[in-house]
Amino acid sequence: MSKSKEKMHVDPYEKIYIYISIVVLIVFATAVTVAGFALGIQVPSPSQRVDPNTVAIEGPFSDPGLRELAPGKYELYIRAEAVPWRFYPDKVTVPAGSTVTFYVTSADVQHGFNLQNTNINFMVLPGQVSTLTYTFKEVGEYPFICTEYCGVGHQNMYGVITVE
Ligand code: CUA
Protein backbone atom coordinates (compact mmCIF):
# COMPACT_ATOMS: atom_id res chain seq x y z
CA MET A 1 0.00 0.00 0.00
CA SER A 2 1.42 3.35 -0.99
CA LYS A 3 1.72 6.11 1.60
CA SER A 4 -0.74 8.44 -0.17
CA LYS A 5 -3.62 5.95 0.21
CA GLU A 6 -3.17 5.80 3.98
CA LYS A 7 -5.89 7.45 6.03
CA MET A 8 -4.75 10.77 7.46
CA HIS A 9 -4.24 10.54 11.19
CA VAL A 10 -6.20 13.13 13.17
CA ASP A 11 -5.77 13.27 16.88
CA PRO A 12 -9.09 12.47 18.67
CA TYR A 13 -9.04 15.77 20.61
CA GLU A 14 -8.42 17.69 17.40
CA LYS A 15 -11.34 15.87 15.81
CA ILE A 16 -13.62 17.00 18.63
CA TYR A 17 -12.52 20.62 18.13
CA ILE A 18 -13.11 20.35 14.37
CA TYR A 19 -16.67 19.08 14.97
CA ILE A 20 -17.35 21.79 17.59
CA SER A 21 -16.04 24.45 15.18
CA ILE A 22 -18.32 23.19 12.40
CA VAL A 23 -21.35 23.22 14.72
CA VAL A 24 -20.52 26.76 15.94
CA LEU A 25 -20.21 27.99 12.33
CA ILE A 26 -23.59 26.45 11.45
CA VAL A 27 -25.19 28.04 14.54
CA PHE A 28 -23.71 31.48 13.68
CA ALA A 29 -24.71 31.26 10.01
CA THR A 30 -28.25 30.26 11.05
CA ALA A 31 -28.44 33.09 13.62
CA VAL A 32 -27.32 35.70 11.06
CA THR A 33 -29.76 34.39 8.44
CA VAL A 34 -32.70 34.31 10.87
CA ALA A 35 -31.85 37.81 12.22
CA GLY A 36 -31.47 39.29 8.75
CA PHE A 37 -34.41 37.72 6.93
CA ALA A 38 -36.93 36.53 9.55
CA LEU A 39 -36.48 39.27 12.19
CA GLY A 40 -35.56 42.00 9.69
CA ILE A 41 -32.47 43.16 11.62
CA GLN A 42 -30.28 44.97 9.09
CA VAL A 43 -27.20 47.15 9.30
CA PRO A 44 -28.08 50.88 9.31
CA SER A 45 -28.68 52.42 5.92
CA PRO A 46 -28.99 56.10 5.01
CA SER A 47 -32.49 57.48 5.57
CA GLN A 48 -31.89 60.40 3.22
CA ARG A 49 -29.17 61.53 0.87
CA VAL A 50 -27.98 65.10 0.49
CA ASP A 51 -25.33 66.80 -1.62
CA PRO A 52 -22.48 67.74 0.76
CA ASN A 53 -21.40 70.51 -1.65
CA THR A 54 -24.70 72.39 -1.34
CA VAL A 55 -25.96 71.21 2.06
CA ALA A 56 -24.77 74.45 3.74
CA ILE A 57 -26.40 76.62 1.04
CA GLU A 58 -29.81 75.08 0.41
CA GLY A 59 -32.27 72.74 2.10
CA PRO A 60 -33.02 72.25 5.81
CA PHE A 61 -29.33 71.97 6.78
CA SER A 62 -28.59 75.47 5.43
CA ASP A 63 -30.75 76.85 8.24
CA PRO A 64 -30.17 74.18 10.89
CA GLY A 65 -31.78 74.17 14.31
CA LEU A 66 -34.90 73.22 16.17
CA ARG A 67 -38.30 73.07 14.47
CA GLU A 68 -41.47 72.49 16.48
CA LEU A 69 -43.80 70.06 14.72
CA ALA A 70 -46.43 69.91 17.48
CA PRO A 71 -46.44 70.72 21.20
CA GLY A 72 -43.57 68.68 22.70
CA LYS A 73 -42.51 67.29 19.32
CA TYR A 74 -39.43 68.63 17.58
CA GLU A 75 -37.10 68.07 14.68
CA LEU A 76 -33.48 69.08 15.20
CA TYR A 77 -31.28 69.63 12.14
CA ILE A 78 -27.56 69.72 12.86
CA ARG A 79 -24.77 70.30 10.33
CA ALA A 80 -21.26 69.14 11.23
CA GLU A 81 -18.35 70.99 9.67
CA ALA A 82 -14.57 70.61 9.79
CA VAL A 83 -12.91 74.03 9.51
CA PRO A 84 -13.81 75.55 11.88
CA TRP A 85 -14.78 72.23 13.52
CA ARG A 86 -18.23 73.00 14.78
CA PHE A 87 -21.73 71.68 15.01
CA TYR A 88 -24.41 74.10 13.76
CA PRO A 89 -26.16 74.69 16.12
CA ASP A 90 -24.11 73.71 19.17
CA LYS A 91 -26.54 75.00 21.81
CA VAL A 92 -30.15 73.89 21.84
CA THR A 93 -32.81 74.23 24.54
CA VAL A 94 -35.96 72.09 24.72
CA PRO A 95 -38.64 71.72 27.40
CA ALA A 96 -38.62 68.58 29.55
CA GLY A 97 -40.67 65.75 28.09
CA SER A 98 -39.89 66.76 24.50
CA THR A 99 -39.47 64.16 21.80
CA VAL A 100 -36.71 65.25 19.45
CA THR A 101 -35.85 63.63 16.12
CA PHE A 102 -32.24 64.33 15.22
CA TYR A 103 -31.17 64.81 11.61
CA VAL A 104 -27.42 65.20 11.34
CA THR A 105 -25.21 65.48 8.28
CA SER A 106 -21.72 66.59 7.36
CA ALA A 107 -20.70 69.27 4.89
CA ASP A 108 -17.24 67.77 4.42
CA VAL A 109 -15.57 64.78 6.09
CA GLN A 110 -16.73 61.96 8.35
CA HIS A 111 -17.77 63.07 11.83
CA GLY A 112 -19.49 61.34 14.73
CA PHE A 113 -22.36 62.36 16.98
CA ASN A 114 -22.70 61.07 20.52
CA LEU A 115 -25.26 62.57 22.87
CA GLN A 116 -23.97 61.59 26.27
CA ASN A 117 -26.11 59.52 28.66
CA THR A 118 -28.51 58.60 25.85
CA ASN A 119 -28.58 55.95 23.12
CA ILE A 120 -27.97 58.64 20.45
CA ASN A 121 -24.64 57.68 18.91
CA PHE A 122 -24.00 57.54 15.18
CA MET A 123 -21.55 58.33 12.43
CA VAL A 124 -22.11 61.51 10.45
CA LEU A 125 -21.21 61.00 6.81
CA PRO A 126 -21.06 63.54 3.99
CA GLY A 127 -23.94 62.89 1.59
CA GLN A 128 -26.04 61.02 4.13
CA VAL A 129 -28.43 61.98 6.91
CA SER A 130 -28.20 60.16 10.23
CA THR A 131 -31.39 60.15 12.27
CA LEU A 132 -32.61 58.94 15.66
CA THR A 133 -35.41 60.00 18.01
CA TYR A 134 -35.08 60.60 21.74
CA THR A 135 -37.50 61.70 24.46
CA PHE A 136 -35.90 63.96 27.08
CA LYS A 137 -37.67 63.04 30.31
CA GLU A 138 -35.04 64.41 32.70
CA VAL A 139 -34.16 68.08 33.15
CA GLY A 140 -30.44 68.74 32.69
CA GLU A 141 -27.59 69.29 30.29
CA TYR A 142 -26.88 66.70 27.61
CA PRO A 143 -23.45 67.32 26.08
CA PHE A 144 -22.75 65.99 22.60
CA ILE A 145 -19.36 65.39 20.99
CA CYS A 146 -17.82 64.35 17.69
CA THR A 147 -16.65 60.76 18.02
CA GLU A 148 -14.73 60.35 14.75
CA TYR A 149 -11.33 61.91 14.30
CA CYS A 150 -11.96 64.59 11.68
CA GLY A 151 -8.82 66.73 11.68
CA VAL A 152 -6.77 69.00 13.92
CA GLY A 153 -9.86 70.67 15.44
CA HIS A 154 -11.69 67.43 16.21
CA GLN A 155 -11.55 67.98 19.97
CA ASN A 156 -13.34 71.34 19.56
CA MET A 157 -16.47 69.72 18.13
CA TYR A 158 -19.00 69.62 20.92
CA GLY A 159 -22.25 71.18 22.01
CA VAL A 160 -25.00 70.83 24.54
CA ILE A 161 -28.72 70.23 24.63
CA THR A 162 -30.33 71.86 27.64
CA VAL A 163 -33.58 70.37 28.89
CA GLU A 164 -35.49 72.73 31.20
CU1 CUA B 1 -15.82 66.15 13.78
CU2 CUA B 1 -14.25 64.83 14.97
Q: Which DSSP string corresponds to 85-139?
A: TEEES-EEEE-TT-EEEEEEEESSS-EEEEETTSS-EEEE-BTEEEEEEEE--S-
Q: Cβ distance 84 to 94 under 8 Å?
A: no
Report the mean per-residue pLDDT for the chain.
93
For the ranges 35-49, 66-80, 91-105, 150-164, which has the lowest average pLDDT? 35-49
Tens digits of residue pLDDT in 61-96: 999 999 999 999 999 999 999 989 999 999 999 999
CA 70 – ligand 1 centroid, Å = 32
- Tell me what the mean pLDDT of segment 41-52 comes to: 83
Give percent above pLDDT 70 in the chain: 97
Give percent above pLDDT 90 in the chain: 85
Whole-prediction pTM value? 0.76
**pLDDT confidence of residue 2:** 53
Q: Which atom of ligand 1 has the smallest separation from the CA of 150?
A: 2
Q: Which atom of ligand 1 has the smallest separation from the CA of 147?
A: 2
Q: Who lines ligand 1 at CB under 6 A? A: 80, 111, 146, 148-150, 154, 157
pLDDT at 57 over 80: yes
Residue 100 CB-density burial (10 A; 0-12 exposed, 13-18 middle, 19+ buried) = buried
**pLDDT confidence of residue 76:** 97
